[in-house]
Structure formats: C-alpha cells, structure tokens
Amino acid sequence: METDNLVVKHHELKVSVDKEPGGDLLAFLEGTVLGTPGGIRYKHTQTAEKLRNLGKPFFLILRKSEKILGSVGLCSRETNYSDRKFTSWYVRYFAIKAPLKSLKPRKEKLFENSGRGMSLLRKTASPYLERPGELLTGLAEGTEKSLVYAYIEQANFQSVQFANQNGFETVRNFTTFMFSRFLPKRNSHVVRLSKNEEEEVRKKLGHFYKDHTLYMEDNLFYRNDYLVYKTDGKIVAGLQANPDMWIVKDMPGISGKLLVNFLPFIPLFNRIFNARKLKFIAADYIFWEEGYEHILNDLLEGACKMNKTHLLITWSDTGSKVLKTLDSAVDAGMIGRGIKRVEVDVKVKFNGWEQEEKELFYKNPTFISAFDAT
C-alpha cells in the first residue's frame, strides 16, 4: 500500500490521502462491525471485491503508529436525473475503530468532545468534502460545482454528527425490501441477459428511473449477473442479482434475538436466515414494464433459485414507485413480513448550489444503489 499524501500530523496521529486501498485498509474494514448498539449490527464479507470495483476512490485514513484507526472514502461518479448530469462523490467506508467511538451523549455535543482522533479526521475531511474535485483530482479552483452524498442510518450518532458538522442535508430516506422463499422455484421466463441486449435494458432503465435523482450506471451489468423476465421473446422486467453474504451480530427486539441466536440451529428455517452466514441476493436496477407488475413474484423467486439462495434484499426510496409496487404486488414471505424495517437517510452536501436548485433532490425519489448499500 502506498501512502500518496500525508495531509496532517498531530503528535502520534496522522491523516493521509491514499488512492489505492491497501491490505491494511482491507483488514481494517473487514474487521469493522457496522450498525449501532440496539439496532442491527453486522459485518460485510465481500469488502475485497467491492474495493476493486469502486471506480475512482480516494481514502482519507487516520493512523496512529502506522495502525489504522479510521477512514473516510470518497468515490467519484456521474449521476443523472432525467437528461441532466451531475458531478457527484459518494461517501463510503466511514469507519472508526472502537476506542475512538463513543455512545450517544445525554446531550448533543460537537465532535471536538469525542476524542482527538475523531476530531482530527473530521477537520481534515472538511475541505475535501467542500472541494473534492479540486483537492483530489486537481480540478481548477473555482470551477467546481458538485454534490457529495452518503447513506446514513438515523440511529448512527457518529455518522449523523459527522454529516451535520460538514453541512450535509437530509433530502430523502429509504428502507429495505426483503423477499424470502423456503423452496424457490425456477421460472423458464427468467433468464440471464445477453450482451447484445444490454443497450435495450439500459434504455429501459433510464426511462424507468427518469424521475429519480442520483441515478448512475457504474455497477450496471456487474459480473454479467443481470436477469430478465421474457414473455413471447420480449423483455418486460429485470434486475441485477448480486450474490452477497453478511455476518449478523445482533438485531433489535425479541424476534431479532431469536433470528440471531436460535434460527441458525433450526433446520429448514436456517436456509432462509442464518445470521452466521446470511447469504442473499442484493437486487439492483429493478425495473418492469407497466402492466407487468404481476410477474415480479416470479422474477424475484427465479433470481433466488438461479443463485441458490432463499433470500433477496433490495433498497428503495420510501416514496418511490419501486417500494410501493413491491409492497403491493409481491408476497414478501416470512422474513420479509416479519422483520421491522429501518429507515436510512440520504444526506447530500451541495457545493456551489443555489437553494432553488436543491429542491430537485427534496421533491424527487432517490435511486438507491444496492452495490453501495452492501
């Protein structure tokens, strides 16, 4: 791993900008437990693969004696709304090692009171969030108009405070839709998309999400795992099926404790939800033609069968047609009906934007990337 730029040093603490995620960052992120005490707490298992497919990432890394204590990743990408394009940066892998973390105080207080390391990382990150293009890619000063966005759980006090202290605004929120089947069935209408059909689906998706902000195609057709539903040779629906696995450490409530501590030992039931190896499909880029909502059950079940799993999860804006249709047209199954949903905020920092321009992001649903959410 190469440290590209030492930004600041304070006694034994230092923050650098790294362009290539090295082995020490991978080990740090793989050991990070996500979520908040009292809520869902889990670990990702596909971190290495995700790091290789982030596009153009930059990492602000806090170290003490060459040991990583915290990180903030910024990923450059182009996002769309209808026919308008925006220079955007997605905040990923904001993680702090346990000794720097603090429980939510009885009273709200600034990060300066949360420890030297956290304060140093926040202060160092601030100008990069204000001028990411200028400081990270050398864009000429004064020419940048950009937005920086992040997905943040409402109960994650550390991340909420970090965003608030850096001028992020909550524009929308989203939640999960979970679909499960004990014995998913293969459907002959559900097939893998061929290369020569990709442009057709790309156009269909652009039309389907034309009213969504932050739409992007960075991970569309990832690993050639896009599945479509065909009827009479016509593509009428589809989704990107990304196999994933989490290790779930804790879930809230009595039902959550049962799922984590007992269900893994119950045959058949643990096929659907095994907290120690929670295998699922992270469904991305879902679309359907108007009038074909009734085939969504078959599409989701077919995706599970083709990937030899019993659970599918996708993420959608709470006010979007995607979530409303899935809730009304799809039988979510035992897990989908039984787990309480948690809302996550979409927070955006607008750099160089007028107030009236921001309204676009408040009024319209946000496209939520399953690749970014896992």
Query: Residue 263 — pLDDT band, cuts 50, 70, 90?
Result: low
Kindly report the pTM of this predicted structure: 0.89
Top CATH class, 176-338: alpha beta
CATH topology of domain 5-152: Aminopeptidase (3.40.630)
Element (H, E) at 141: none
319: exposed, middle or buried (C-beta count within 10 Å: 0-12, 13-18, 19+)? middle
pLDDT per residue over 98-134, tens digit each? 544 444 544 344 334 345 677 888 888 999 999 999 8
CA distances (Å), origin 24, targets 28, 178, 182: 6, 33, 39
Residues in the chain: 374
What are 334-339's contacts with CB under 8 Å, separation 24+?
A: 334/180, 334/182, 334/272, 335/178, 335/180, 335/272, 335/273, 335/311, 336/177, 336/178, 336/179, 336/180, 338/255, 339/178, 339/251, 339/255, 339/256, 339/259
Question: What was the pLDDT predicted at 109?
Answer: 43
pLDDT tens by residue, 37-79: 766 778 888 898 888 888 788 999 999 888 999 999 999 999 9
Q: Tell me, what's the pLDDT at 185?
A: 94
How much is the pLDDT for 173? Answer: 97
Task: CATH 3.40.630.30 in the chain: give the residue spans.
Answer: 5-152, 176-338
Which structure tokens are listed for 69? 């204590």
In the DSSP assignment, the letter for residue 295 is G
Extract the tokens encoding 149: 């966005």
Which tokens go with 184? 């998913």
